[in-house]
Structure 1
């Protein structure tokens, strides 16, 4: 009887670890994604999934992806960050600058890959671009110096601009250094630059209306979850008031905006799959260099220019990557 108990105990001690190992082998790694805005998100998620499939990962087969949508709300971003970290995924994908600080405050061990983040070194997310260190790396978006290029383009496409407003929501975008570079370019052109802050949907018409009360105003929009969510209202108001504007993403021009100077956002999500793959296969986030945007696209909407009574310089149109007619 004692021998039977021993054999049963021995068998159990062998079987249970074997079952546990089998279950572990079957367990699919989990990727938690914090997406700050929903507009255009489907295209970007499709690009991420294409990139993952190229590298052998398919959501629902050998990988589980959990998407969380913040809809541009700073409070919602913080709540999702807390939920994600507590759920202990194998990896977190963090979309845009506002999503990174709450995640870094909550975890120093779960790997984080950020996408569409401005100046990650300047914001203190990584030590340097070559060896980020810690548990975070990713794909940077604009460098702050691009604000100077936006100001120069605005003056070039609309020579009559005699004052420039740089528009953003101070609670949802890192605006300080954009303003510094934008002001330097405006000063060089002899044009005053003012900060135009909007914090809710109701302020868009009111504040843009005041800015557009007299001719000669031009706008530079900063990359910002808030302005992206409300891009149609901003585009419509600017065009109606005859205010020339440079936008940070192609989607604004598709919605009727005058001009954008940006990068392919979906391509950035596609490329982010390379780091998701490498980290899931054992590499450390802090050892992977931060990747930068290598190509910008200049896009114009001629229909909007005609609606505003604006003739775009041929030399500028010749440099365009695309012209919407």
Structure 2
């Protein structure tokens, strides 16, 4: 071997040495806990938001998803199971899930979506300085209940009896129902309150409604009831029962109106916190952000089907109209 060849071989070895010792980039693991139904859109939005920031599922991170299917039972057990799977972060959807996940874990960072005030329920110390290991997004879901009921009255001025379901095991639901009672009394509406404990209970409750028993179906802030929405839309239409709910994503499936948020966009909004934590930021250094893009959606096809004339001012105010 010539002297020049020896130099070239040595130089090549120097170049290849770092590559030989380099380790493939670690796939970070995101544990996700949500309660199913329309909340799946929040997870999809979060993944889309991460992709926009350059993080691709399967290439940069893996999802460990747990769908609770509307049940509030054993959330802590699910959270502990994800910890045993060595996830790097938990993404929790809804206040109830986040409270349980916080209680069940000690060290793992948590990015949440909460419809209740995260300071009031004890998730964080303050919006600006969350403290501990949690941060995320708050969308004031309970605060929307009075306005949603007011919209129902505008849509159905003759409505006197309105049915609503609530999970007796969910304290957030009790708070929401209390808000609804006060507004209903002012509007001259009798709330027909039906307690439930599961999605199946909601479905059975709608199926059991007698003809003329209620003038409309109204959704307060209740996770179990919210998750039941896709399963009760057809039942309500069969009973010619107008539905006013809080999920814009369900509008095209046959409800009369929705006043709330697009949960896909909520997830996309939360993705920036997830990305920052995965990049090394500490949750306690990331202020909790408020998502306030509330929208009104109307389905005029359903209105025609039910013989309802939607006031023109309400149509002009709507952000989304299905004609």
**TM interval, short-chain normalised:** 0.7 to 0.9
- Give the match for residue 126 of structure 2: 128
- The 8 Å contact of residues 164 and 217 in structure 1, kept in 2 or not, is answered as yes
Q: State whether residues 148 and 183 of structure 1, in contact with CA within 8 Å, keep that contact through their aligned partners in structure 2.
A: no
Q: CA deviation at 1:202?
A: 5.3
2:29 alignment partner in structure 1: 30
- Bigger drift between 204-213 and 58-67 goes to 204-213
Q: Find the residue that maps to 1:146 and give its secondary structure.
A: helix
TM-score, scaled to structure 2: 0.84
Q: 1:204 to 1:96 in 2, by over 3 A?
A: closer
Matches within 5 A, 1:45-194: 45-75=43-73, 77-171=75-169, 174-194=172-192
Deviation string, structure 1 residues 52-86 (Cα, Å, up to 9, x no partner)? 12323222223233222222222353332111122
CA distance in 2, matches of 1:186, 1:211: 20
Aligned to 2:261: 263
Residues 19-58 of structure 1: per-residue CA shift (max 9 Å, x gap): 9x955x73333221113215562x5444322321232322
Name 1:11's counterpart in structure 2.
none
Give the Cα–Cα distance (whole angstroms) in 1 for the partners of residues 318 and 300 of structure 2. 12
Provide the alpha-carbon RMSD of the alignment.
2.7
Structure 2 unmatched runs, 5+: 1-17
The alpha-carbon deviation at position 116 of structure 1 amounts to: 4.6
Matched with 1:14 is none
Residues 176-209 of structure 1: CA deviation (Å, up to 9, x unaligned): 2211221221222233334222334554465336
Q: CA deviation at 1:137?
A: 1.2
Whole-angstrom distance in 2 between the partners of 1:63 and 1:206: 40
Query: Which residue in the other structure is 2:248 paired with?
Result: 250
User: Per chain length, whose mean CA-contact separation is higher, i.e. which structure has more relative contact order (CA < 8 Å, sep 6+)?
Assistant: 2
Q: Which moved more, 1:213-222 or 1:82-91?
A: 213-222
